[in-house]
C-alpha cells in the first residue's frame, strides 16, 4: 500500500513539474530598453505597460525595463529590435524617423499644438498608417504612445525670449534633420548629439542648452546644469513603445493581443499622467532655481520662420503636402 501511495505521489509530482515546465516554456520575459531615467514619462508608461501585461496574461508574461539607455542609444535599439535581438524599446519618435521617414510628420514644428492634438492623431487613422509604415520600413511595431509634452528650450547662459536671443548659444539637438533644420530657420546651427551624451555635455559646457519636455528636464535633473527655460513649444514630444516585428510575429495570437491591449492601456495612462503631473513638475523646477519665460511675441517669429522654411522641405518624406493638409484639417486648422 505504501509503495502504491508513494508511486502515485511521484507520478503526481512529475506531472506537475511537466505542466509547469510546459507553461514556463510559453511564458515570455520581455526586455524593454528605455532611453530616459526613472521618473520620466517613458518610465511611467513602461511601468504601466509591464503592470497590464502581467495582469492581462494572468501573470504568465512579464516585462523588465532597462532605464537610462542601458541597452544602447535609442537609434541602436531600433536596429536591435529590427534584427530581433531586442524585444522592445521606449524612445523618442525622432529616433525612429531615420528608419521610417513618414513618422517625421509628428516632428514637423508646430503641427501638434496640444495634448488633445497628439491623442487625436496617434489614436486615429493617421497613427494607424504610421504604425503600418513603421512595420514596413523599420521592421518594428508601435504598440504604445508616450505623451511627454512640449519640448521647451533650456540653457545655462541667458534668458531667451526672441529668435535673436539664440545668437551665440550652442544647442544640443537629436540627430534628426527636421529638428536641425528648425534651428537653422532660427539662425543657428545646432549640435547633433546622442541622448546618452547630453547631460555630460551640458555639465562640461560643451553645449549651452537643449530642448525637451518639462517631465524629461526634471527626470534627467537638468536643473543641476541649466538655468533658463523658454516655452518655445515647437514640438510635442511623442515617444512610442516599439516591439520587434520578428518577435511579435513569433508569438501566439493570444499573446499578441495581450501586448496590444497592454499598450493601449499604458497609452491612456500616459495622457492622464501628463495632465496630472506637468504643472507640479514645472513648479518644482522653479523651486530648484530655474527661470521660466514665454517668447516675447507669443512665439510668432519662431512659428513663422520654422513653418515657412521647414515644412516644404519635408513634404516628400512625410508622404506629400496633401497629407499634411489633411492632418491640419483634421485638427481644425487650414
Q: 33 vs 26, which has greater pLDDT? A: 33
Query: Looking at the DSSP assignment, which residues form a beta bridge with residue 172?
Result: 191, 210
Contact 50, 63 (CB under 8 A): yes
pLDDT of amino acid 20: 43
Contact 188, 206 (CB under 8 A): no
Instruction: Name the pTM for this structure.
Output: 0.89
Kindly state the average pLDDT of the residues 114-136: 97
pLDDT of amino acid 208: 98
Kindly state the average pLDDT of the residues 39-58: 97
pLDDT tens, position by position, 298-309: 999 999 999 999
- pLDDT at residue 67 tops 60: yes
Please, is 311 exposed, middle or buried when counting C-beta atoms within 10 Å of its C-beta (0-12, 13-18, 19+)? middle
The span from the CA of 119 to the CA of 244, in Å, is 23
Strand order in the sheet with 140-150: 62-66, 29-34, 88-90, 236-244, 140-150
The span from the CA of 93 to the CA of 240, in Å, is 6
Give the Cβ contact number of residue 79 at 10 Å. 17
pLDDT of amino acid 2: 55
Give percent above pLDDT 90 in the chain.
Answer: 91
pLDDT of amino acid 107: 94
Residues 6+ apart with CB under 8 A from 180: 173, 190, 192
Report the run of H or E that residue 8 belongs to, with start and end. helix 2-26
Among 57, 35, 58, residue whose Cα is nearest residue 45: 35
What 3-state class would DSSP assign to 142? strand
- pLDDT at residue 17 tops 50: no
- pLDDT at residue 284 tops 90: yes
Strand order in the sheet with 291-293: 191-192, 171-173, 209-212, 152-155, 228-230, 291-293
pLDDT tens, position by position, 228-257: 999 999 999 999 999 999 999 999 999 999
- pLDDT at residue 223 tops 70: yes
What are the residue ranges spanned by the domains of the chain? 26-330
Contact 145, 270 (CB under 8 A): yes
- pLDDT at residue 24 tops 50: yes
pLDDT of amino acid 294: 97
**Weakest-pLDDT range from 23-27, 85-89, 216-220:** 23-27
Report the run of H or E that residue 137 belongs to, with start and end. helix 125-138
The span from the CA of 199 to the CA of 158, in Å, is 18
Instruction: Name the CATH superfamily for 26-330.
Output: Bacterial extracellular solute-binding protein, family 7 (3.40.190.170)
Contact 82, 140 (CB under 8 A): yes
pLDDT tens, position by position, 181-212: 999 999 999 999 999 899 999 999 999 999 99
Q: How confident is the model at residue 19 (pLDDT cuts 50, 70, 90)?
A: very low
Amino acid at each position: 500500500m505504501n509503495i502504491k501511495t508513494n508511486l502515485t505521489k511521484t507520478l503526481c509530482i512529475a506531472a506537475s513539474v511537466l505542466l509547469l515546465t510546459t507553461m514556463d516554456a510559453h511564458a515570455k520575459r520581455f526586455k524593454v530598453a528605455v532611453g530616459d531615467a526613472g521618473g520620466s514619462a517613458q518610465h511611467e508608461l513602461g511601468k504601466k505597460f509591464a503592470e497590464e501585461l502581467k495582469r492581462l496574461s494572468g501573470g504568465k508574461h512579464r516585462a523588465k525595463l532597462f532605464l537610462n539607455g542601458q541597452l544602447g542609444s535609442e537609434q541602436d535599439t531600433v536596429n536591435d529590435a529590427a534584427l530581433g535581438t531586442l524585444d522592445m524599446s521606449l524612445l523618442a519618435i525622432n529616433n525612429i524617423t531615420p528608419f521610417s521617414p513618414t513618422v517625421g510628420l509628428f516632428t514637423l514644428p508646430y503641427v501638434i499644438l496640444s495634448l488633445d492634438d497628439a491623442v487625436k492623431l496617434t489614436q486615429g487613422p493617421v497613427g494607424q498608417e504610421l504604425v503600418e509604415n513603421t512595420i514596413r520600413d523599420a521592421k518594428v511595431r508601435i504598440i504604445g504612445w508616450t505623451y511627454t509634452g512640449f519640448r521647451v528650450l533650456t540653457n545655462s547662459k541667458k534668458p531667451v525670449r526672441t529668435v535673436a536671443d539664440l545668437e551665440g548659444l550652442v544647442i544640443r539637438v537629436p540627430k534628426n534633420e527636421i529638428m536641425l533644420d528648425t534651428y537653422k530657420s532660427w539662425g543657428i546651427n545646432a549640435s547633433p548629439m546622442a541622448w546618452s551624451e547630453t547631460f555630460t555635455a551640458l555639465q562640461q559646457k560643451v553645449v549651452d542648452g537643449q530642448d525637451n519636455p518639462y517631465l524629461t528636464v526634471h527626470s534627467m535633473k537638468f536643473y543641476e546644469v541649466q538655468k533658463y527655460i523658454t516655452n518655445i513649444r515647437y514640438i510635442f514630444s511623442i515617444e512610442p513603445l516599439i516591439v520587434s516585428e520578428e518577435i511579435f510575429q513569433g508569438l501566439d495570437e493570444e499573446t499578441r493581443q495581450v501586448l496590444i491591449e497592454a499598450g493601449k492601456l499604458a497609452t491612456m495612462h500616459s495622457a492622464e499622467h501628463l495632465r496630472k503631473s506637468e504643472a507640479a513638475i514645472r513648479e518644482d523646477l522653479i523651486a530648484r532655481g530655474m527661470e521660466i519665460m514665454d517668447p516675447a511675441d507669443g512665439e510668432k517669429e519662431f512659428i513663422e520662420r520654422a513653418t515657412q522654411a521647414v515644412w516644404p522641405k519635408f513634404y516628400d518624406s512625410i508622404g506629400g503636402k496633401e497629407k499634411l493638409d489633411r492632418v491640419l484639417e483634421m485638427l481644425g486648422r487650414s
